[in-house]
Amino acid sequence: MTRAPVTRKAFAYFYEMTTRWRDNDVYDHVNNAVFYEYIDTGVNAWIKLEAGLDVPGGDVVGLVVHSACDFYAPLSFPGRVTAGLAVEKIGRSSVTYRVGLFAGDAGRAAADARFTHVYVGRGDRRPVALPPEFRAALEGIARPAR
């Protein structure tokens, strides 16, 4: 919370979504758990639309093993939220994304998150190497961690 919120420059892919009336809590702001719906949506939109990974039909399944979020500013309904996405770390079976959430046209993030998938076999749920084409796609949106 001491550093300034991240800007859009840190991200390589952007997916715009909308907030819902049901997202607002008793304080008329989006509930904290809903931020993770936006984060999850940004990651999976890229995977399905850009990375060509067959979800959920393929042989590998991405399990979320860790996520975290710093919240800098409220979001609310009605409104637009853009998820900015970058890959921060690629392992043999795992990938950590950084996801920034931007309200409307804001340049500074309302939230700054990390989200780690481990890929496992559909049947045995054992870690597998990232499929080569998927790894290449991940490298295409890689940005070094600050």
- State the nearest-atom distance from the C-beta of 1 to its own copies, in Å: 6
Closer to its own copies by CB, 55 or 142: give it.
55
Q: DSSP code of 8?
A: G
- The answer to whether residues 41 and 83 touch, using CB atoms and an 8 Å cutoff, is yes
CB of 8 to its own copies, least distance (A): 19
The footprint of its own copies (CB under 8 A) covers 1, 16-18, 20-22, 24-28, 31-34, 36-41, 43-45, 48-49, 55-56, 61, 63-71, 77-78
- 132 bridge partner residues: none
- Smallest gap from residue 24 Cβ to its own copies (A): 5
Cβ of residue 129: shortest distance to its own copies, in angstroms?
Answer: 17
Of residues 49 and 132, the one with the C-beta less far from its own copies: 49
> Which residue's CB is nearer to its own copies, number 24 or number 84?
24
User: Could you tell me the smallest distance in angstroms from the CB atom of residue 106 to its own copies?
Assistant: 18
For residues 3 and 132, which CB has a smaller minimum distance to its own copies in the complex? 3
CA 29 to chain centre: 21
Preceding amide of 131 cis, omega within 30: no
Q: CB-wise, 77 or 132, nearer to its own copies?
A: 77
H helices of the chain, in order, are 32-49, 132-140
- Report which residue type is found at 46: W
- The C-alpha atoms of residue 109 and residue 71 are separated, in whole angstroms, by 9
Token look-up 């770390």 returns 89
How far is residue 56's CA from residue 33's CA, in Å, rounded to a whole number? 23
